[in-house]
Structure 1
Amino acid sequence: MLITSYSMPFTVGFVLAMAFVVAQAQQMQSSIRLGSSLTPTTNSSWLSRSGVYAFGFYKQGNGYAVGIFLAGIPQTTIVWTAKRDDPPLSTNVTLDFTSGGFSLKPTQGQSFVIEYTSGSSASMLDSGNFVIYNARQDIVWQSFEHPTDTLLPGQILFAEKELFSAKSESDHSTGIFRLKMQGDGNLVQYPVNTPDTAQYAYYSSGTYGGGKNVTLNFAADGHLYLLNDTSSNIKNITNGGLPADQATIYLMRIDADGIFRLYSHDLNPNGSWSMVWESSNDKCDPKGVCGLNSYCVLLDLEAECRCLPGFVSANQRNKTSGCSRNLVADGCEHKNETLKYTMEELESTTWEDISYVDLTLSDKEACKRACLEDCNCEAALFDDTSCKKQRLPLRYGRRQVSTSNVALIKVAKSTTIPDTNRIVEKGSKRKGRTVILIISLSLAAFGSILFAISVIVLCKHNVWAYKRVNTPIRDSELNEDIALRPYTYEELEKITNNFTEEVGRGASGTVYKGVILASQKPVAVKRLEKVAAEGEKEFQNELKVIGKTHHKNLVRLLGYCLDGPKRLLVYEYMSNGSLADVLFAPDRQPCWEERMRIARNIARGFLYLHEECDTQIIHCDIKPQNILMDEYMCPKISDFGLAKLLKADQTRTTTGIRGTKGYVAPEWHRKMPITVKADVYSFGIVLLEIICCRRNVDWSLPEEEAVLDELAYPCFESGELGKLVGEQEVDTRQFERMIKVALWCVQDEPSLRPSMKKVLLMLEGTVEIPIPPSPNSILSTI
């Protein structure tokens, strides 16, 4: 739809009225001289001549920010913020007006709040525009040309410029929605970090093709107009309007909920803000108002966010934080997927379509089967004619009664929970079901006790019978399933055929392949070469800690040998070698989806070591060689928790259990206390290797590209991520997310690195990932 045409006299009158308003406002101004300064607690702002607007410090969170706000009304209303994404300022800063910029002392990490050239004076105008002049009184900088989330009367949003919402009413840093004045003449709203295409738009002025250099103009009477470069074609964005009135203030803002609104405020003592117009009255319209893996439902005109079946809210206090699985489901590297999973339905919902397979199907049950039988399928979108297979996370979900679309979500049967969204109205039946459940559980418990007693009696009878006939239990293989088994050195010599088949070698010892004689089960036997001279009790106490660790992403310790100075460990055998063997061999490199699955599983293993097992274990030597691959290509962490078994002097080497060069966290070299964050750093290096499919240090490349973790941030900062992967096929959106995760992990300052729990949530796409600082910066937080 073209921009609506009005008569030329009206156009000229409108432009003259806009000019008159700006000229009047500029006459009513305050003068600020070079050398002037502000502090948060005293002399905190400079007022406009009427006292309506102020420039200076305002309270934000636990500190202060610098911006423009309405000072002439009781409610503090922020209309512009300088450096809005910087951390809050402390009370001991001073804002100085200099000839080259407004500077903060101490800097608090910012060199300038506002930058310009040759400034000699400044003014806070009654229009709400903060301007800086040179010696000739020419404007060298003005806040009206750098809007954040708000427009004021007389202000213009030029072509290709954007407004970004705030995070919340109390946090004015950049939020998740944007309003763009496009070069094609359309005024459009999108979520942040999306392309300017119709697929992601949720509001449009419908003025495509309306001329060149179309601008959004805010008139004194509360109208928003679109004008092209000839000022002859005008469209009124807002419906209606109010007469221009000196006793009324107007502002247009894209609110934190993603809707842009026009507000008015009466300046009389009892005045308050009133909404004049809004781009939508449906709070579920903005895409992204509910986070990943959740969808928006409109209840009493308010947006309510609900999780996918099998998911729970990541943060109850922040609906945009999305949802994560209530329990971590097993990976799909094994067979019989249809026995482990079921498909849950979400009717009348729409989602972003990021399908990797689009099937022509008209049968919903066939669509469910197709997803269940596909290891990579985590959800499917069905619309009576097609079945679109999806990978998680799902986003931009909302309930829409007018559509017949159904979202089919794959949920592990062991973790399937009732959809709380469907049982709100079933409270009357709960009491009876609870009674039945209690009775059933009681009977089941009683039956279990009887069964256990029977088993114990039977076992004792069998033991007595075995003793009577004096039949030995050969090799005691049955014990390996329930406890660490002690082996003699002679037994391990037989199992390994006198240690003939070497399958690995490290700083702590050599690994040999062996076979349990009775069961023919392959094992890996590690002969430790630098073990401290501990007594049997201390050695076994250490092993008990490791023996109690059971996780699908940890190599399982089966037994040990303590024979004088000889100490050996018996592990489950991993048939596919190490991650290094898979990752760095050109003919074995896994595809992008397999690499993502490997990264997530490794993170789950370290989360268990750090937070979930009885005794916290810091690995200290994370590298691809210490991550082994089983027959299903599932990664398992090896050599965990054995640091105390090694000699103390080995901590001073570069390849010992305390870390391998290229993977060691900086705090090792600074003699700082070592925490689990050291493992997070090493994991970040390994994650870079996984997603880029190359070694962290490769001197066969040009010197500037040889060290991957030093190359990653410059490529990320310049938007040249293609340099990190070459011609490999990757999911561009996921690749950028993974790079951000890795850059947070390899921060020099340990406190800036996320926990492994946060890392796993980011890898799964459950939480948004903030822009990481340079790894050697200590000024940002996560």
Structure 2
Amino acid sequence: MAFLLLFLLSFVFNPANAQPRSSTIEPGSSLSPNNNSYWLSESGQFAFGFYPYGNGYSVGIWFENIPQKTVVWTANRDDPPFTGDAMLHLSTRGRLVVRPTQGQEVLIAGVANAASSASMLDSGNFVLFNSSSGIIWQSFDFPTDTIVPSQRLVVNNKLFSDVSKTNHSSGKFLISMQGDGNLVQYPVEAVAFGFGYWNSKTNGAGYGVSLNLDNDGLLYLQNATGFNITSINNRVAASGKTIYRATIDADGIFRLYSHSSNQSDNWSTEWSSSDNKCDPIGLCGENSYCVLMEGEPVCQCPLRFVYIDEEHKELGCRKNYSLDACTGRNDQTFNFSEQIGLSWKDNNAYNDFISSTEITCRSECIRDCNCEAALYNNQSCKMLKLPLRFGRTDISRQTVTLLKIGGELAGPGTGKRKLRIDILITSLALACSTLAFLVLAAIGVLKYRSSVREYRSRVQEYERILRSVNNRIAKDVALKSFTFEELKDATNNFADEIGKGAYGTVFRGVISDGDGERTVAVKRVEKVVAEGERDFRNEMKAIGKTHHKNLVRLLGYCYDGTDRLLVYEYMKNGSLADFLFKSKLKINWEGRVEIVLNIARGLCYLHEECETQIIHCDIKPENILMDDKGYAKIADFGLAKLLMPYQSKTYTGIRGTRGYVAPEWHRNLPITVKADVYSFGIMLFEIVCCRRSVEADVPENEQVLVHWVYDCFKANEVEKLVRNEEITNSKLERTIKVGLWCTQDEASSRPSMKKVILMLEGTVNIPDPPLLSSFLTSP
């Protein structure tokens, strides 16, 4: 992370703060931010522990033996800072956790098998060891924005930029080591659509390629056999004792930095992926474009647009005109605001046709009431709805941006309408009388609502006191407790329904938090009989202790009489089902593989890593939601059957959705986590093939997807599953084999989700799956 000053220099030279340099950290060891303690590597090069961040502290790794203590890794970087009274423990159970004085402990590093010891290595890698001194967890496997010498960025691993120099949460940009051997930089929100803006030009180099940084400052790509495919930069001519790091910065540019004992405290840039700071796609928000001013990037708005926020111009622009073209009003005229020399990513163009002239392109946009903008370039006309995205200046100046505006500013020849004075006077008089009536009515309503609000406030305060005494659930979870009336107001009396499932209905709402207003999803649980109440209580206890970037986060709940409601983070991009089966834009192969891995990691956490093991029981695309950074997150897991630590299986009635449930549901057999593995396998095939698991309007042999997949695999024709896509058979076959293992009829034959991740990442070999027994009985 670029240039983050972490500690006061007076701290560095205070002998009272000298740190032990022990290579082994035993269970029971702990650190506190208040006494400035941390664990050093043997040479003192790196330190692990708390460092000051924001209004508190984060846990991370930094260069300790240089004055500017630059952070190279942060745990749980998107979480809020810890307070000064938190403690970092390597527990006797072998889990690395932070324990605040209030609330639940936060997992920093944990594995299924307890760690016997830990160490901060001189390589910059913090590791957990088992009793045989084997590494069972390491920070190198979970990079943030930086790699250091001897660290590898392996297949499907990514570095994410910071938000800014002072905010090290995950930012707008990433660099990905892809399975095709290409190292590519993307804007986070457009990875699935392949909008890269820099790459190593090694596409097709094969699976298993990794990015490496050596001690002499050389960035290079190496294949699985250890052969160096290409060098990213020239070897650096070092002076004195020099250290290096490679970081994707908040501005979206990947840079190699050096720091020498012969130079000042600052890091020097040895290489960068671009010299033009406007190159990163997505640096500027919607309807804005990037221009260079004295070498620095500045976001600007097109004509007739204004900044959403003048103080934060990178957020984008909004139009300052109204356009009402699809209401059937045929008396409205239109003109165009025209700008030459801007380019936009036109992936959301709904109409693309050959147009011999720009005038023809304009005319077609006028006739189409859905058209809000058109891009004309070399006899190509693309019609779009706003917003425009990923704008930048076009050096060739061949693209003409036509923004459709109303006729009030139309130029000559557009036929301005003349308004009759008598109609204008009558309209104004009518408007004034209507306005006066509305003002009087509004005053009456406000007075009534004020009295009602005061009464409700008193009632809610009384109910809050009662709940603090009687509601034992609040002791089990570190979540916000809402009253029913609060959530009723937040959802405008449950007016905006955004989804419906087996357990209840979901509504969009707005709540107030410490940073202002926040959009949330409120699930109104409709099963309030004994079984439903038990599920609700279990969910409170379980979700309050789960936290993973691939799980939809629960923010609060309502336990108010017979009313049971859950408050979740709002996922504005909808479900995976919307992306796969409804969107006109098809997610590319790399994006689909990443979604599969996101889901696998979330399930692995539920099955093996969280404190209370959870079986989801209803894995399907509708229960996978997409966040604004392109992550896939598992929803509805809190309503699943829970396994307590002493349980390994559970008998229960059939849950889940037809087409995704494992065979053991129908045979009254014990249900284990392997039921989720089966559902995951079915959904993997849907993601690969971009279709439902059962479809009627296809040839008979293709109607049941899992059967068709197996037929294609057996006939060595897997390419039929992804028609019109350029994917190497080896990658496709690997993914298909994982799905076939997951959908084995016998639960014991299916791999664990941890094994699934290893197979998908190419870490382990995948044997050919056996014949599925379901084929032996299928008609």
TM-score category (smaller protein) = 0.5 to 0.7
Judging changes above 3 Å, is the alpha-carbon distance between structure 1 residues 267 and 53 closer, same or farther for their aligned structure 2 residues? farther
Q: Distance in 2 between matches of 1:221 and 1:731?
A: 44
Residue 256 of structure 1: how far off its partner (Å): 0.8
Name which of 179, 204, 210 aligns with 1:209.
Answer: 204
Check 1:481–1:280 CA distance in 2 against 1; reply closer, same or farther (3 A cut): closer
Q: Is the partner of 1:41 in helix, strand or coil?
A: helix
Measured in 2, the distance between the counterparts of 1:59 and 1:669 equals 33
Measure how far apart 1:145 and its partner are: 1.6
Q: Are 1:70 and 2:20 an aligned pair?
A: no
- Number of residue equivalences: 496
Does the aligned pair in 2 maintain the 1:260–1:278 contact within 8 Å? Answer: yes
Please list every run of 5 or more consecutive structure 1 residues that lacks an aligned counterpart in the other structure.
1-27, 418-451, 460-475, 486-540, 549-614, 619-640, 653-665, 734-766, 778-782
- Is residue 150–residue 214 contact of structure 2 (8 Å, CA) maintained in 1? yes
Gap change, CA 1:195 and 1:32, over 3 Å in 2: same
CA change 1:416–1:64 in 2 (3 A) is farther
Q: Which structure is larger by alpha-carbon Rg, 1 or 2?
A: 1
Deviates more, 1:76-85 or 1:301-310: 301-310
Deviation by residue 1:419-441 (Cα, 9 ceiling, x = unmatched): xxxxxxxxxxxxxxxxxxxxxxx
Mark the CA change 1:144 to 1:347 in structure 2 (over 3 Å): closer, same or farther: same
Aligned residue number for residue 125 of structure 1: 121
The 8 Å contact of residues 95 and 103 in structure 1, kept in 2 or not, is answered as yes
Q: C-alpha displacement at 1:317, in angstroms?
A: 3.8
8 Å CA contact 2:188–2:630 kept in 1: the answer is no
Matched, 1:96 2:92: no
Q: Which amino acid aligns with 2:174?
A: R
Q: Is the 8 A contact 2:190 2:630 kept in 1?
A: no
1:276 aligns with 2:270: yes
Q: CA separation of 1:90/1:236 partners in 2, compared to 1, >3 Å: closer, same or farther?
A: same
Q: Which residue of 2 aligns with 1:34?
A: 27
Query: What is aligned with 1:172?
Result: 168
State the shift of 1:247 in Å. 1.4
Structure 2 gaps of 5+ residues are: 1-20, 412-420, 459-478, 508-523, 533-563, 588-627, 639-779
TM-score by length of 2: 0.55
Question: What secondary structure does 1:483 align onto?
Answer: helix
2:132 corresponds to which of 136, 149, 163: 136
Letter in structure 2 aligned against 1:361: S
Give the whole-Å Cα distance in 1 for the aligned partners of 2:398 and 2:427.
57
Q: How does 1:503-514 map to 2 (within 5 A)?
A: none
The corresponding residue for 1:228 is: 223
CA distance in 2, matches of 1:138, 1:646: 65
Structure 1 segment 435-454 matched on structure 2, within 5 A: none
Matched, 1:286 2:280: yes
Say yes or no: does 1:189 pair with 2:2: no
Which SS does the other structure have where 2:189 is aligned? coil
1:112 aligns with 2:107: yes
Task: Give the SS at the match of 1:371.
Answer: helix
Match of 1:631 in 2: none
Deviations 1:749-779 (A, max 9, x none): xxxxxxxxxxxxxxxxxx99999998999xx
Structure 1 residues 415, 55: CA separation in 2 closer, same or farther (over 3 Å shift)?
farther
Q: Which amino acid aligns with 2:305?
A: F
CA contact (8 A) 2:146 2:245 kept: yes
For residues 387 and 241 of structure 1, do their structure 2 counterparts lie closer, same or farther at Cα, with a shift above 3 Å needed? same
Partner-residue secondary structure (3-state), 2:299:
strand
| CA displacement at 1:77 relative to structure 2 | 1.2
Deviates most, 37-46 or 73-82: 37-46
Partner of 1:162: 158
Who is 2:483 aligned against? 670
- CA deviations on 1:97-134 (whole Å, 9 max, x unpaired) are 11332212226565312223322222222221112222
The one of 545, 564, 572 aligned to 2:439: 545
Q: Paired residue for 1:79?
A: 72
The answer (yes or no) to whether the contact 2:99–2:105 under 8 Å persists in 1 is no
Give yes or no for contact 1:95–1:104 (8 Å, CA) kept in 2.
Answer: yes
Aligned to 1:13: none
For residues 653-674 of structure 1, the C-alpha deviation after alignment (integer angstroms, 9 at most, x for no partner) is: xxxxxxxxxxxxx9998386x6
C-alpha separation in 1, matches of 2:441 and 2:630: 36
Identity of aligned residues (%): 39
For residues 494 and 580 of structure 2, the distance between their equivalents in structure 1, rounded to whole angstroms, comes to 20
* 1:248 match: 242
Match for 1:483 among 412, 428, 433?
433
**1:343-387 residue CA offsets vs partner (Å, 9 max, x unmatched):** 111211111112101132132233223223322111111103021
Return the alpha-carbon distance in structure 2 between the equivalents of residues 113 and 667 of structure 1: 23
Letter in 2 for 1:64: Y
Greater Cα shift, 204-213 or 713-722: 713-722
| Residue in structure 1 matching 2:386, options 367, 370, 392 | 392
Structure 1: distance between partners of 2:427 and 2:233:
80
Which amino acid in 2 is paired with 1:225?
Y
Matched, 1:148 2:144: yes
Q: CA shift at 1:698, angstroms?
A: 12
Q: Deviations over 1:701-727 (max 9, x none)?
A: xx99xxxx98997997998542x8997
CA contact (8 A) 2:150 2:215 kept: yes
SS in 2 for 1:234: strand
SS in 2 for 1:342: strand
Structure 2 counterpart of 1:440: none
Change (3 A) 1:404 1:725: closer
* Of 277, 284, 289, the match for 1:295: 289
Residue in 1 that maps onto 2:42 = 49
With over 3 angstroms needed to count, the CA separation of the structure-2 counterparts of 1:698 and 1:225, relative to structure 1, is: closer
Is the 1:483–1:547 Cα contact (8 Å) retained in structure 2? no
Return the letter of the residue paired with 1:148.
T
Q: Does 1:383 align with 2:377?
A: yes
What CA distance in whole angstroms lies between the structure 2 residues aligned with 1:335 and 1:717?
A: 32
Contact 1:292 1:322 (C-alpha < 8 Å) held by counterparts = yes
- Distance in 2, matches of 1:546 and 1:276, equals 69
Deviation at 1:49, TM superposition (A): 2.9
Q: Cα gap change, 1:148/1:685 in structure 2, threshold over 3 Å: closer, same or farther?
A: farther
Q: Which amino acid aligns with 1:161?
A: N
Write the distance in 1 (CA, Å) between the matches of 2:364 and 2:314: 31
Q: Specify whether residues 776 and 317 from structure 1 end up closer, same or farther in structure 2 by C-alpha distance, changes over 3 A only.
A: farther
Q: Which amino acid aligns with 1:313?
A: Y
Structure 1 residues 31 and 347, CA gap change in structure 2 (3 angstroms)? same
For 2:444 and 2:285, the matched residues in 1 are separated by 32
Deviations 1:426-457 (A, max 9, x none): xxxxxxxxxxxxxxxxxxxxxxxxxx9xx9xx
Residue identity matched to 1:213: G
- Partners of 1:183 and 1:770 in 2: CA distance: 18
Q: Secondary structure at the match of 2:433?
A: coil
SS at structure 1 position matched to 2:50: strand
Q: CA deviation at 1:202?
A: 0.7
Distance 1:263 1:651, change over 3 A: closer
> Among 355, 365, 368, which residue is 1:374 paired with?
368
Q: How does 1:334-733 map to 2 (within 5 A)?
A: 334-336=328-330, 338-339=332-333, 341-353=334-346, 354-412=348-406, 481-483=431-433, 545=439, 547=441, 670=483, 679-682=489-492, 685-686=495-496, 688=498, 720-722=575-577
Structure 1 segments, 4+ long, off by >6 Å, are: 476-479, 615-618, 644-652, 666-669, 694-700, 709-719, 724-733, 767-777
Q: TM-score, normalised by structure 1?
A: 0.55
Q: State whether residues 309 and 411 of structure 1, in contact with CA within 8 Å, keep that contact through their aligned partners in structure 2.
A: no
RMSD over aligned CA atoms reads 4.9
Q: For residue 172 of structure 1, give the secondary structure of its aligned residue in structure 2.
A: coil
**Secondary structure, in 3 states, of the residue corresponding to 1:366?**
helix
What residue in structure 2 maps to residue 310 of structure 1?
Answer: 304
Residue 188 of structure 1: how far off its partner (Å): 0.8
SS at match of 2:496: helix
